[in-house]
Amino acid sequence: MARLFCNWMLIVVVILTASVKAVAADQCQGFKFIQVQSLSLQDLGRMTQQKIVTGETGSVVFIPFDEEDYPQQGKFHAVGLVFARVGDLGETPIGGYIWISKDANYQSYEGTKTVSSVSIKLHALGARRCAASLVFELKQMGKVYVNGAFIGTVR
Q: How far apart are CA 73 and CA 71, in angstroms?
A: 7
pLDDT of 126 reads 67
pLDDT of 111 strictly over 50: yes
Q: How far apart are CA 95 and CA 34, in angstroms?
A: 8
pLDDT tens, position by position, 55-95: 999 999 999 998 888 899 998 999 999 999 999 888 999 99
Q: How far apart are CA 103 and CA 78, in angstroms?
A: 13
Beta-carbon neighbour count of residue 116 at 10 Å? 11
Residue type at 56 in one-letter notation:
E
pLDDT of 101 reads 85
pLDDT of 132 reads 84
Rank 8-17, 80-89, 124-133 by mean pLDDT and report only the highest: 80-89
Q: How far apart are CA 84 and CA 68, in angstroms?
A: 26
Give the whole-number percent of the chain exceeding pLDDT 70. 78
pLDDT of 140 reads 95
Which conformational region is residue 58 in: left (phi greater than 0), alpha (psi within -120 to 50 degrees), or beta? left
CA-derived radius of gyration, the chain: 20
pLDDT of 24 reads 40
Please check whether residue 32 is in contact with residue 39, taking contact to mean a CB–CB distance below 8 angstroms. Answer: no
pLDDT of 121 strictly over 50: yes
pLDDT of 20 reads 35
The mean pLDDT of the chain is 81
Give the whole-number percent of the chain exceeding pLDDT 90. 52
pLDDT tens, position by position, 19-38: 333 334 444 568 899 999 89
pLDDT of 89 reads 85
